[in-house]
Structure 1
Amino acid sequence: MTSVNAKTLKLWMDQREGLTVIDVRTAHEFSNIHIRGSYNVPLAMLAEHAEEIADRVGEHVVLVCQSGVRAVQAQQKLAPLGISTVAVLEGGVNGFAAAGGDVVRGSQVWDIERQVRFTAGSLVLASLLGGKFLSPKMVSLAGGIGAGLTVSALTNTCAMGKALSALPWNRTRPVPTKEETFSTLPDQKK
């Protein structure tokens, strides 16, 4: 596996012709933060259209995601298709930002898992305080939240997450179509 660190990527972006930085995260993640000049090609789209993408990009491709896992999967799809360099950015987009890389920040919305933890924790704390100072019956809310979290873990579903995802700030950007994705991706091989 070929990888590149943030410092090297910054140099490449200034000096390398034929470099394409592809962010394989979802459109929603990309809208929150992305490397300036990168192109959003969600992993599922890249996996389905790897050959067409390889025909459009330059000689050097750097793949970006949050932690590296999706970028490695994308690398496995693109590497055998004749591109000179297919590298994964170490530390992902946040590592690049922390190293002083040029990023574009959109609206910063907590991910659903973090919102669930905050909501569940706040409700448990409020019910315990309410049980101590208002009515002992309020403690039952903490039990209900605990039971809900247990069921959530056992069934690998999350009713609270589903409810929170319906809130206006959590409405995600739609998955881009192939045409929308390809219209933004440069055709460097023409």
Structure 2
Amino acid sequence: MPLDRIGDLPHNGRQIIFHCKSGMRTTANTLQLESAADGVPACILKGGIDAWRQARLPTVVDRSQPLEIMRQVQITAGTIVLTGVLLGLIVSPVFFGISAFVGVGLMFAGVTGWCGMANLLRVMPWNRRSKG
């Protein structure tokens, strides 16, 4: 569940285990997660799912779910930059501007924490998560 919807967490009095991929986001948002637990016993998985897997504990991967948004951003940005460079070399140097535009967008995302490409990809049809 995304952090901005954590207040909608249905817990029905059962224990809650918060986790992310590496444990960094859950650790950074401990107070907000504890508040969302609303007095229900809650744990934060130290080291995230990566540590869980490294300890060779069982996991289930739902392959029907889309790739993580940041992986989609990396694939899309890389494809656009490569296309801009190839078009710049083969067709016209004007196309190098495409790569520059993506680079500026990535720098802006890094500085502000807001990524337009991620927001755009998030609303694409393939990112409409199936109910699991």
Q: Indicate the residue corresponding to 1:13 in structure 2.
A: none
CA gap 1:92/1:82 in 2 versus in 1, 3 angstroms = closer
RMSD: 3.5
If each structure's strand is expressed as a fraction of its own residues, which one has the higher value?
Answer: 1
Query: What is the number of residues matched between the two proteins?
Result: 123
Q: Indicate the residue corresponding to 2:95 in structure 1.
A: 138
Q: TM-score, normalising length from structure 1?
A: 0.48
* Native 8 Å contact 1:64 1:93 kept in 2: no
1:104 aligns with one of 60, 80, 93: 60
CA gap 1:164/1:78 in 2 versus in 1, 3 angstroms = closer
- 5+ residue gaps, structure 2, are none
Equivalent AA in structure 1 for residue 7 of structure 2? A
Q: TM-score, normalising length from structure 2?
A: 0.64
Q: 2:11 matched to 1:43?
A: no
* CA–CA distance in structure 2, aligned partners of residues 100 and 156 of structure 1: 33
Name the larger-Rg structure. 1
Equivalent AA in structure 2 for residue 122 of structure 1? T
Q: Structure with the greater relative contact order (CA < 8 A, sep ≥ 6): 1 or 2? A: 1
* Native 8 Å contact 2:18 2:44 kept in 1: yes
CA gap 1:87/1:142 in 2 versus in 1, 3 angstroms = closer
CA gap 1:70/1:149 in 2 versus in 1, 3 angstroms = closer
- Amino-acid identity (%): 25
* CA–CA distance in structure 1, aligned partners of residues 93 and 72 of structure 2: 27
Q: Indicate the residue corresponding to 1:117 in structure 2.
A: 74
* CA–CA distance in structure 2, aligned partners of residues 158 and 71 of structure 1: 20
Equivalent AA in structure 2 for residue 45 of structure 1? D
